[in-house]
Amino acid sequence: MGRILDGKAVAAELRGRVAVAAGVFASRAGRKAGLEVVLVGEDPASQVYVRNKARACEEAGLRGVVHRLPADTTQGALLELVHGLGARDDVDGILVQLPLPKHLHEDAVLQAVPADKDVDGFHLLNAGALFTGREGLVPCTPTGCMRLLDHAGGDLSGARAVVVGRSNIVGKPMAMLLLARHATVTLAHSRTRDLGLLCATADILIAAVGRAGLVRGDWVRPGAIVIDVGINRDAQGKLVGDVAFDEAAERAAWITPVPGGVGPMTIACLLENTLRAAWRRKGLPPGELTL
């Protein structure tokens, strides 16, 4: 039986370190580091996520403000808000919660967030920085996965990593982060042939597809580290990941649960990104930010 990679515990540790550094920032800058979250519409899951993000900010000594806009907000009104936040000196991070209502042009909104305040890491400059190994803001969920892998303590150099899912938010940046740590990365997806056989070769298996129970026990190589990014509802309405947990846990060395695995890490890494953005914007010495 594999060991549980407890995202709640690892995230709590990271949040504690962010809180200490946030105190240092506030005393040097004369104000708190600040995140502004923009939510358009009434999506119930998004409402919960946004509330949790703002609360986590306040608990860590950051300012967390939510802007709630009606579902029929125009593209112009949304861009005006984002541009206004972009121009404010006391705003260090801006996050536009996805998905946006269908009539809005998501990409245009995301690119309107200044790259140095883009705590989601979705701006093309940040995506390009990650692709080319430069300094930038990195998406929160894959960063959280990397921190969980480090907690498990496996040597990533030369390891065979299989990432299932090729989204811009998780799969692609995840592949880049693993590659930067010298893993041999295969980026697989729904059309990959013999997906189960491929997964069974992985020392590190990242499931980020959004299909409940896709990864079966026999897809897991004995001794592998399994990170489950999926958040799905099963037929009974229970929250489940992309991995058939009980089967996979029999073979994995380490495995993340859902809930309580990657989810809490995403929020902790958002706080970390906000503080990093604030630190850089204020021109404080990078070496003195220890997280």
- Using CB under 6 A, list all residues that contact ligand GUN: 95-98, 120, 140-141, 169
Query: What sign results for the dihedral spanned by CA atoms 35, 40, 42, 43?
Result: negative
Q: Which residue is nearest to ligand GUN (CB)?
A: 98
By beta-carbon proximity to ligand GUN, the closer residue of 143 and 205 is 143
Question: Nearest-CA neighbor of 18 among 60, 49, 70?
Answer: 60
Residue 120 bears catalytic tag: yes
Shortest distance (Å) from residue 25 CB to ligand GUN: 23
Residue 75 bears catalytic tag: no
By beta-carbon proximity to ligand GUN, the closer residue of 54 and 202 is 54
CA distance 181 to 183: 6
Beta pairing, strands 225-228 & 160-164: unpaired
Residue 97 bears catalytic tag: yes
CA distance 162 to 169: 17
Instruction: Please write down the long-range contacts of 101-107, taking CB distance under 8 Å and 24 or more positions apart.
Output: 101/40, 101/41, 101/71, 101/72, 101/73, 103/75, 104/40, 104/73, 104/75, 104/78, 105/75
Place of tokens 């993000």: 53
Shortest distance (Å) from residue 231 CB to ligand GUN: 9
Place of tokens 């997964």: 199
Shortest distance (Å) from residue 35 CB to ligand GUN: 11
Spot the catalytic one: 97, 116, 172, 242: 97
Q: Where do the H-state alpha helices sit in 153-261?
A: 171-180, 195-199, 245-251
Shortest distance (Å) from residue 160 CB to ligand GUN: 27
By beta-carbon proximity to ligand GUN, the closer residue of 95 and 202 is 95
Shortest distance (Å) from residue 155 CB to ligand GUN: 28
By beta-carbon proximity to ligand GUN, the closer residue of 12 and 48 is 48
CA distance 33 to 26: 7
Spot the catalytic one: 92, 116, 118, 120: 120
By beta-carbon proximity to ligand GUN, the closer residue of 221 and 276 is 276
278 in Cβ contact with 251 (< 8 Å): no
User: b/e string for 215-229 if b means 16 or more Cβ within 10 A?
Assistant: beeebbbeebbbbbb
Catalytic residues: 53, 97, 120
